[in-house]
Amino acid sequence: MTTPSEPAPGLGKGMPTYIALDVSKSMQKHEGLLNETLAKIVKELYLNPRVSEFVHLSIVTFSSAPTVVVKMTELTRMRQMPVLRCHGGTNFGPLFDLLRDRIDIDVPLLQDQGYSVLRPVVFLLTDGAPTDRPTTAWQEPHRGLVDPDWRRHPRVICFGFGEAVEEILCRMSTVQTYMADPALGDGTSALPEAMNGMLNSMVASVQARELRLPNEVAGYRVLAEEYVEQ
């Protein structure tokens, strides 16, 4: 008999995956596109059991404060995606604190269900610079999130476009940073291409049973590895 503290056998690997979306005021002009693109990705995962059994997805938004839009345990029970609204600033510090808290909740839940849990993954999408006050206030929460002494520290992959600052995103990333070519414009093309890059990564990771990132994302530059390692 299996008790809650003893993982049930046979479920294999699970990869906790967090999509962290900037929904600050600067994203208002993309609000409809953001909701449409996200709904497509969630539908794709929902309709592909092989992906959803391996990629355990949670959706988090952040502006002046972060919000858990979809908990990791809720995706397969969802009937409709919540509608995202864009407003407020772009504060990263509270987001990093929330992600650490959620990981400490979600990893044990997956382990209790019987999964061998891989290192969590965070896909972060933003079109702007931090509005934390002071502007460096995000750094300490970020160090707490990626602290190698914390066994559950996630891999962080950043996608930036618009007014996102390349140097800052490189510091936030621990694996890879993707920066949109300015030729993509104000985000109309950049946003869905970034989300498709995330989806492609999840699908490829299922096949490899470990994190796999796309070698290229249409319209984005993949920054050299030496710039993003912590």
Radius of gyration of the chain (CA): 17
Cα distances (Å, whole numbers) of residue 49 to 46, 56, 72, 203:
7, 11, 15, 11
- % residues pLDDT > 70 (the chain): 89
What are 141-150's pLDDT values in tens digits?
999 999 999 9
Interval 68-79: pLDDT, tens:
999 987 676 776
Q: Domain 13-227, what architecture?
A: 3-Layer(aba) Sandwich (3.40)
> How large is the average pLDDT for residues 163-175?
95
The pLDDT value given to residue 41? 87
Task: Please give the residue that has the higher pLDDT: either 159 or 185.
Answer: 159
Rounded average pLDDT over 35-50: 87
> pLDDT for 176-210, tens place per residue?
999 998 876 666 788 999 999 999 999 999 989 99
Taking the C-alpha atoms of residue 158 and residue 87, their distance in angstroms, rounded to an integer, is 21
If pLDDT is split at 50, 70 and 90, which confidence band does 158 have?
Answer: very high
Domain positions in the chain: 13-227
The model's pLDDT over 102-120, given as tens digits with 9 standing for 90+, comes to: 999 999 999 999 999 999 9
